[in-house]
Amino acid sequence: MALTGRALDGGYYIRIFAFMNIKSQRRPAAESPAAPPAAVLAEPLLAKAGAAAEFLRSLAHEHRLAILCALDEAPRNVGELAALLGLAQPNVSQHLARLKAQGLVVATRSGTTLHYRATSGTARVIVAALQAEFCPQSTDRLIDR
């Protein structure tokens, strides 16, 4: 070990150079302390918030909202929805697939045709609230009935 020192503003500045050959020794990992109660309580809240965010992401598209408005009125097939919304059938099918995967719509087969209807009470409440806020007159609904 080498010690060097020099005066700096009335004090001593000491540099210590230590060259030691010490092998690192792994210490056994200490048991992790229990999570604080706030973190334990936050986990379910965060899980629910994540589920709510995923639900809102599935609604966060103008075409999906319009589809849900149309399905709230009556069950419809892809062709009817496409004609009503002025969209291509493949696009409507993709949006319906996303809504179906989230459990917001369900399809029932009638011969070779699938009729979709809205199933989620939560989605219906949100669509109704959006219609009340953004389409206050019955003639200006998201989908005219």
Whole-Å CA distances, 99 to 16, 35, 56, 95: 68, 37, 11, 6
pLDDT tens, position by position, 110-144? 899 999 999 878 888 888 888 888 876 654 455 54
Low-confidence spans in the chain with pLDDT less than 50? 1-24, 139-140, 144-145
- Structural domain span for residue 133: 52-140
Q: How much is the pLDDT for 15?
A: 42
CATH classification of the domain holding 92: 1.10.10.10
- What are the start-end ranges of the H helices in the chain? 37-59, 62-73, 78-85, 89-101, 121-134
Q: How much is the pLDDT for 85?
A: 93
Q: How many domains does the chain contain in total?
A: 1
- Strands 11-17, 105-110: pairing is unpaired
Instruction: Report if residue 64 sits inside a domain.
Output: yes
Instruction: Report if residue 8 sits inside a domain.
Output: no
Instruction: Report if residue 47 sits inside a domain.
Output: no
Instruction: Report if residue 41 sits inside a domain.
Output: no
Contact assessment for residue 51 and residue 43, using Cβ atoms and an 8 Å cutoff: no
Instruction: Report if residue 6 sits inside a domain.
Output: no
